[in-house]
Amino acid sequence: MALSQAQIEQLAAHLHACQIANRDTHKVTDDHPEMSWEDAYAVQEHIQAIQLAGGARVIGYKAGLTSHAKMKQMGVTDPVFGFLSDAYRVDDAAAIRIADLIHPKVEPEIAFVTRETLSGPGCHIGSVLAASDVVMPGLEVIDSRYRDFKFDLKSVVADNTSAARFVLGKQAVDARKLDLRTVGVVFEKNDAPIAFAAGAAVLGHPAAAVALLVNHLGRRGQSLPAGSIVLSGGITEAVPVAAGDTIRLRVQGMGEVSARFV
């Protein structure tokens, strides 16, 4: 690792403070160009420790930048991974206060809930489907703490991959009863469709993103616990939102999920 434990804790405290105060900042690699991938995930893990010390619970994980649309939007080629705490969760159709966020964007996702512990290396689509309980439509609200969403991959990993809020649909469907590659996706803003896609937009199969997450956790000596929520990554580009907007995602065979911004 290139950074000291004190530097990692200082960066985590800084990014956490930015999140709490809805304040943006420059990317952490501006001050620490030597930062390694290990350092970036260590900063993220320390943000998790700060949240846990404040009473939050980790309830799942997210894969980000898993679709061609997102990779193109952000100018990157590799997925990234973050954690989901209960502090980020919002009920379906509930209001999300824009004033609590910096510059939120929303992306449509397919969410998994696991039934069994999943461990890597060697996790693949089949193991994910076998160990998954249900899938449902999900909306992720991303809110990079970096000014104008300008970052490199290590900076965004340190910032828990821009995680801010997420919403899950109420209709939970057996993950093996649908072909997640071909399910149709309609993404709507203020009752108008703004993007269309199919599940295969995420790495050919959304379960492939979960498998990559599990193998990533395996490299870090961790497993994905049973009962975890996993967001498999934005299927289309993320859309900016402002007060007064309603975002809805409809996924074929899974119903819908929505969020109101106030």
Question: Residue 162 binds which entry of ligand 0L1, Mg ion, none, with Cβ cut-offs from 5 to 8 Å by kind?
Answer: ligand 0L1
Report if residue 144 touches ligand 0L1, rule: CB under 6 A: yes
Residues in the chain: 262
Q: Restricting to residues 219-258, name those near Mg ion by CB under 5 A.
A: 234
Strand-by-strand arrangement of the 255-261 sheet = 95-96, 255-261, 246-251, 184-189, 192-198
Give whichever of 127 and 236 is closer to ligand 0L1, judged by the CB atom.
236
Q: Give me the residue whose beta carbon is nearest to ligand 0L1.
A: 64
Q: Rounded distance, CA 76 to CA 44, Å? A: 19
Question: Residue 83 binds which entry of Mg ion, ligand 0L1, none, with Cβ cut-offs from 5 to 8 Å by kind?
Answer: none
Q: Restricting to residues 94-133, name those near Mg ion by CB under 5 A.
A: 107
Q: Rounded distance, CA 182 to CA 200, Å? A: 6
Answer for which of 39, 92, 140, 152 binds Mg ion (CB under 5 A) is 140
**SS3 category, 167:** strand
Which H or E run includes 57?
Answer: none
List helix spans (H) across the chain: 5-21, 28-31, 37-53, 68-74, 125-130, 153-158, 206-219
Prior bond to 121 cis, omega within 30? yes
Report if residue 74 touches ligand 0L1, rule: CB under 6 A: yes
Answer for which of 15, 27, 64, 205 binds ligand 0L1 (CB under 6 A) is 64
Task: Write down the least CB distance from residue 234 to ligand 0L1, Å.
Answer: 4
Q: Candidates 1-9, 25-33, 137-145, 212-220 — which segment interacts with ligand 0L1 by CB under 6 A?
A: 137-145
DSSP label at residue 118: B
Question: Residue 161 binds which entry of Mg ion, ligand 0L1, none, with Cβ cut-offs from 5 to 8 Å by kind?
Answer: ligand 0L1
Report if residue 199 touches ligand 0L1, rule: CB under 6 A: no
Q: Give me the residue whose beta carbon is nearest to Mg ion.
A: 140
Answer for which of 3, 8, 47, 65 binds ligand 0L1 (CB under 6 A) is 65
Report if residue 162 touches ligand 0L1, rule: CB under 6 A: yes
Which conformational region is residue 244 in: left (phi greater than 0), alpha (psi within -120 to 50 degrees), or beta?
left
Q: How far, rounded to the nearest angstrom, does the alpha carbon of residue 61 sit from its chain's CA centroid?
A: 7
Q: Rounded distance, CA 240 to CA 93, Å? A: 18
- Write out the residues near ligand 0L1 by the rule CB under 6 A: 62, 64-65, 70, 74, 80, 140, 142, 144, 149, 156, 161-162, 233-234, 238
